[in-house]
Structure formats: structure tokens, C-alpha cells
Amino acid sequence: MDKMKKEILFSRKAIDLRVRELAAGISRDYQGRELIVIGVLKGAFIFMADLIRSMTIPCRVDFARLASYGAGSVSNGKVILTKDIETSIRGKDILIVEDIVDTGVTLSYFVEWLQERNPRSLRVCAFLDKRGRRKVTFEADYVGFAIEDGFVVGYGLDFDEKARFLPDVYIMKD
């Protein structure tokens, strides 16, 4: 990681502005309703913390962790829930917060998993969206930034558990 070249894709200032814009929209959409925000670990925790601190409505928080296993960094499309939520969501408004939508496979699986628990509503907020890599049809309801193909790190996104702490988002270069 240290030897790899990277360049800033989104600065902390741009991220902060976009997170506040998303929070304002979510706060408007859920005004007067009880919202449960479910973060997908590990990548979304920084984005989610900033997002809920910028919202003007109260919310409850929970977390889930999913893994898609394959060779190296390539998913084989099989998704496993390794940490389930602990909150009952029946009849509640749910917002899933994810760091990045790539193939759409993991989030499609998780949305279906949660829909079986009969929430009142279920939406997805993704920090980054790589639409060009979709393997299944999936659209997030709220998107921070749309990006082209490329490997990104920082602001919760990692490479082999490294670089999550970086306050900006970087794209890795050859």
C-alpha cells in the first residue's frame, strides 16, 4: 500500500459538503418518522458516523456485516451474512448505509434479506456508486458520488485493512 501510487479523487472538503447535502435530503424525507440506520461494516462506519451527525432528525443505529467470498479480491457472487442486525425492523423505516455499490450483488442480497422482515420502507444510501460494474440491477436511493472503474481507498474504504483512516478518497494508480 505504501509503495502504491495514489491520487486524490475526492477531498475531505468535497466529501464533507456532499455528506451534508445527503443528510439534508434524508432528514427532509424522513421528517417526523422513526428512522433506523443500518451500517454495513466495515467500510461504511466513517461515512455513516458523519452522515447521522449531519442529519437533523433522530435515528436509531445498527450494523450488519456481509462477505462475498472468491479468489483474492474477486467475488464469486456468494454472499454470507457474518453479523446480523440486532434491532427489530418490522413496520419501521430503514436506511442501509454502504460505502460502495460495485457489482450490486451484496446489497441486492442484503435488501432482500431485510425485506423478509417486513419493514415499513427500505432505502439505500451509498457513499460511492460504480454503476459500470453492475452484475445485477441495483440502484441506491441516495448516492454520494458516482465513479468510474478503479480501486479506491480512504474515508473507510480499505486495501487489505489499510488506508481506512485517510480523510480523503484516493484512486490507486499502477
DSSP state of 170: E
Annotated active-site residue 102? The verdict is: yes
Cis amide leading into 42 (omega within 30): yes
| 79 three-state secondary structure | strand
Strand order of the sheet with strand 152-153?
Answer: 5-10, 169-173, 152-153
Tell me the three cell numbers of residue 71.
479468489
Which residue in 50, 93, 99, 102 is the catalytic one?
102
Report yes or no: 64 and 82 within 8 Å, Cβ to Cβ: no
Active site residues: 102
